[in-house]
Structure 1
Amino acid sequence: MTTAVRPDAALWRLGGVLIMGAVLSILDATIVTVGIDSIARDLGSSLPTVQWVASAYLLAAAAAIPLSGWLADRFGGRAVWLTAVAIFTAGTLLCGFAWSAPALIVFRVLHGLGGGLMQPVGQAVFAQAAGPALGRMIGVITLPATVAPVLGPLLGGALVADFGWRWMFFGIVPLGVATFVFARRFLPVPPPSGTREPLDVRGILLLSPGLAAFVFGLADGVTIAWVAGAALLLAYGVHASRTRFAVLDLKLFRDRGFAVASGSTFLLGASLYSSMLLLPLYYQQVEHTSALQAGLLLAPQALGSAAVLLAGRLLARFGPRRMMLAGIVLSLLGTVAFTQLGSEPSGIWLTLSLLIRGAGLGAATTPGMTTLYSSLERSRIPRAASAFNVINRIGGSLGTALLAAILHDELSASAAPTAFGTTFTWALAMSALTLIPAAFFPARSPR
């Protein structure tokens, strides 16, 4: 009787450790947004310069992701993940001690390199360890992606208000240390790898800078950056089709399950998740709330997203296609109220909508991850996790850039509530596109 319990117990411990790392990575990508103004004042720097504190992290993370698959294959997921946590924690501590804006930006690059590796490597480690149990326990590694973006501004606002901006970093250090300690104990030691593929140096020189430039250009509206990034990514595509050991294996897309899940995560990033940008902006610019109050108002979405922990069991019962479609429909229903902001809907209606939206996001995340990792051999999972995160990052950048441009144009032509409502209408239309790949998901969960 006891032998049947042990595997799940070990997976829950492993999942708990990996959740800590994923939360670290995502929190630090979002937490500093509420402290930019305080940092600029304290370090005597201009706001455009300090804005790089946020951008540097995202760019470094984007550049590191393509390397994650090769590193995990070459050195093992456990060693790479522990190293990433150590780099991330050291970068966090250095950020807290930064004496100038340039120093803080440099430390954020170090920060981002560790953070960029943690999420894909952690997903791969868990998927390989879970094996057939992945469908039931997938919520463990998808929960941070749906909850942490909401909690980041909330935690950041509280720390800045009570202790100052440096504690946005100092406050994370103990969590980083604890994550490293627990990971050394609970992360499994992988068996020796049977393959030692050479590092695709040319591919890295094309893909990592291309992805970073593309993400930056879209996020900050710098045309020359995203055009240059797109050119480098196109050149990488040509290179990858001609080389045997590409750093990001495009041959993965020949697998139907991987291709469907990738298309889904791209559109989810471009529509449902990128529209999260609009929510805190609305509460702060239209409702004139503080960063902390905006975070509290967004809490119902995080609470709804926690439903992802139940989604594994529902997935086994209803199958990936029904779960994905149901999650997207719930997310769409939860967005409708925000298209009516020009009519000033009640706060209760918006809160309920956020709860429904969060539940939909949680439910829609689970089938994609399960289909992605269950469709491949375990040896290919590290490379798949790398590709999956790259695709999601590009989709999120595209969607965010588009919605930001629409909001900017609408604000110049109409009142703020109406402008936000119109922008959410575009977000709703984009989100509806995610129903297309969802229809191609398998009807039953892989065994």
Structure 2
Amino acid sequence: MQTPAAAPAAGDKLDAAVLKIASVVVLGVIMSILDVTVVSVALPTFQEVFGASYATVAWTMTGYTLALATVIPLTGWAADRFGTKRLYILALVLFVLGSVLCSLAWDIGSLITFRVLQGLGGGMLMPLGMTIMTRAAGPDRIGRVMAVLGIPMLMGPIGGPILGGWMLESLSWHWIFLINVPIGAVALVAAVLVLPKDNPSPSETFDYVGMLLLSPGLALLLFGVSSIPEKGTVASSRVLVPALIGVALVVGFVFHALRPRHPLIDLRLFKNKQLTVATITLFLFAVAFFGAMLLVPSYFLQVRQETTLSAGLLLAPQGLGAMLSMPIAGKLADKTGVGKIVLFGMGVIAVGMGVLTQIDANTSYVVLLGVLALMGIGMGAAMMPLMTAALQTLNDHTIARGSTLMNIVQQVAASVGTAVMSVVLTNQINGSEAIGRLATKSFEPQEAPALAAQAQADTASGFAIAFTVAFVLLLLTLVPAFLLPRRKVETPEGAEAPKPVIMH
């Protein structure tokens, strides 16, 4: 066993022991993120196979998201109480079990039920992965740790449509779930062998009141928000009733969380100015960026009439751009102020988003692919340093709670962004006379080519307006981003020197 002075985390680079842990964490996290985008391209297939409406099959996505929202708040407490290794292994087992059951689904109801079980495991993987990695590497190397964890965040949106499209075209829908079984088995064995031994703190009491307020509150809020695209308006009772009840429960949790010594989510972390600023920036950024990026494959499918596989391949430049910038940004985040890196990344994204506001049905593919690469570079430079800014001032005990908090914020923001952009796009498309006439077949045969061309142009215009909304939101994100530190933040008092990683 190494002495503290020679601890692996004491060096400047991520050593072999930490990289081994990273490989296990990334393997598990990539499954949960990849599964979201793989399933998203399979929704039309589910409609056909199970004879269900789009609104019904969309619950395979919504149910998974709600399960994530329900279980994420528990993760910080459970990680302290039972240990991150045990909990990570449990999350992997739940996720793989849910995947197997999904592949055996006999109707849409059973598939939605099994997706919820899968989401209970998947929801714990990312916050647990962040906690395991930051504890192993130490506070001085969180930037590089976040860069490693950024890999699955990139692989999901890029690899999901490609993998899903290929499996749906070449194999069957069952394989979008069965693919998790061999990956999960490898991740499970690796977790048992590689992850450091648990050191749980069983003294903390569980916040039952907080659990009864926050988890249902988040689930109801996201249910309401997720219903907006289907209903096309915020004024629907299907949207307003659960969303308002959810908000009331979350507000009730906020007042409750300031009283107990060990709340479910420690809102006292917001006394940390840097974490607060980083959280606000992350929320606005996730609404704008993730909401907009969800539309890009839809543009290729609906406007340019590409296949699912081709649309997935066309997204590759974004991932390549992020892969170039993310390791550099992670290294710089440990050596200089994250504010400079985040502002650079957001500035680059804003340039790309500005181009997308001018998109039409005939925009050059060279321009589109160049913009996606540029935005990938910006995302790689902005996303992980934001996480670094939030976590690098926390000590060993509060990292689990901090990473849980950041994951809740990101999950809620991404859902809000998806709903906002979907509603903007849907309203624009529904307002098109040409699209309406084509849908109702109220036209003469000789009018069909002109109507089809106009419908394509109107759809492209709807995407441009949605990207304009995202562009404005992104500019607003620059305001809190300016408040992020421009100089390196020293390790906080109480953050222990990184401990030796014991392999067993």
TM above 0.5, yes or no, is: yes
Q: How far has the Cα of 1:417 moved from its partner? A: 1.2
Per-residue CA deviations over 1:329-369 (Å, capped at 9, x if unaligned) read 11111212211113732110110000000110111012212
Q: How far has the Cα of 1:318 moved from its partner? A: 4.5
The residue aligned with 1:185 is: 193
Instruction: Give the length in aligned residue pairs.
Output: 446
Distance 2:7 2:72 in 1: 39
Flag structure 2 segments of 5+ consecutive residues without an equivalent. Answer: 1-5, 229-238, 433-457, 491-504
Distance 1:191 1:119 in 2: 20
The residue aligned with 2:478 is: 435
242, 247, 251: which one pairs with 1:234?
251
The residue aligned with 2:314 is: 297
Check the 8 A contact 1:62/1:208 in 2, yes or no.
yes
1:158-197 correspondence to structure 2 within 5 Å: 158-193=166-201, 196-197=203-204
Is 1:200 aligned to 2:207, yes or no?
A: yes
Higher deviation after alignment, 18-27 or 150-159: 150-159
1:24-173 correspondence to structure 2 within 5 Å: 24-131=31-138, 132-173=140-181
The residue aligned with 2:274 is: 257
Check the 8 A contact 1:53/1:104 in 2, yes or no.
yes
The residue aligned with 1:444 is: 487
Check the 8 A contact 2:387/2:406 in 1, yes or no.
no
Distance 1:43 1:266 in 2: 36
Distance 1:398 1:6 in 2: 37
The residue aligned with 1:243 is: 260
373, 393, 411: which one pairs with 1:393?
411
What is the one-letter code of the residue matched to 2:315? L
Structure whose residues are more often helix by fraction = 1
Is 1:372 aligned to 2:379, yes or no?
A: no
The residue aligned with 1:347 is: 365
Check the 8 A contact 1:320/1:367 in 2, yes or no.
yes
Q: How far has the Cα of 1:223 moved from its partner? A: 2.5
Q: How far has the Cα of 1:298 moved from its partner? A: 0.9
Higher deviation after alignment, 44-53 or 382-391: 44-53
Is 1:413 aligned to 2:431, yes or no?
A: yes
**Cα distance change of structure 1 residues 6 and 365 upon mapping to structure 2, 3 Å threshold:** closer
The residue aligned with 2:293 is: 276
Q: How far has the Cα of 1:74 moved from its partner? A: 0.2
What is the one-letter code of the residue matched to 2:37? T
Flag structure 1 segments of 5+ consecutive residues without an equivalent. Answer: none
Q: How far has the Cα of 1:413 moved from its partner? A: 3.2
- Secondary structure (helix, strand or coil) at the match of 2:289 reads helix
**Cα distance change of structure 1 residues 9 and 346 upon mapping to structure 2, 3 Å threshold:** same
Check the 8 A contact 1:135/1:445 in 2, yes or no.
no
The residue aligned with 2:438 is: none
**Cα distance change of structure 1 residues 192 and 76 upon mapping to structure 2, 3 Å threshold:** closer
Check the 8 A contact 1:143/1:362 in 2, yes or no.
no
Per-residue CA deviations over 1:126-161 (Å, capped at 9, x if unaligned) read 111110222333200122223312221221111111
Distance 1:225 1:192 in 2: 36
- Secondary structure (helix, strand or coil) at the match of 1:405 reads helix
TM-score normalised over the length of structure 2: 0.85
Check the 8 A contact 1:147/1:305 in 2, yes or no.
no
Q: How far has the Cα of 1:215 moved from its partner? A: 1.2
412, 419, 423: which one pairs with 2:466?
423
**Cα distance change of structure 1 residues 45 and 403 upon mapping to structure 2, 3 Å threshold:** closer
Per-residue CA deviations over 1:204-229 (Å, capped at 9, x if unaligned) read 11111111111121122123222221
**Cα distance change of structure 1 residues 6 and 364 upon mapping to structure 2, 3 Å threshold:** closer
Check the 8 A contact 2:80/2:200 in 1, yes or no.
no
Q: How far has the Cα of 1:399 moved from its partner? A: 1.9
Structure of higher CA gyration radius: 2
What is the one-letter code of the residue matched to 2:143? G
Distance 1:155 1:380 in 2: 37
Counting aligned pairs with the same residue, the percent is 37
Distance 1:5 1:384 in 2: 24
Distance 1:282 1:338 in 2: 11
Check the 8 A contact 2:349/2:374 in 1, yes or no.
yes
What is the one-letter code of the residue matched to 1:18? V
TM-score normalised over the length of structure 1: 0.95
**Superposition RMSD in Å:** 1.9
207, 210, 214: which one pairs with 2:221?
214
Q: How far has the Cα of 1:278 moved from its partner? A: 1.1
Per-residue CA deviations over 1:291-323 (Å, capped at 9, x if unaligned) read 111111111111112131222223345521110
Higher deviation after alignment, 144-153 or 376-385: 144-153
The residue aligned with 2:455 is: none
Check the 8 A contact 2:214/2:253 in 1, yes or no.
yes
Distance 1:408 1:47 in 2: 14
Q: How far has the Cα of 1:2 moved from its partner? A: 12
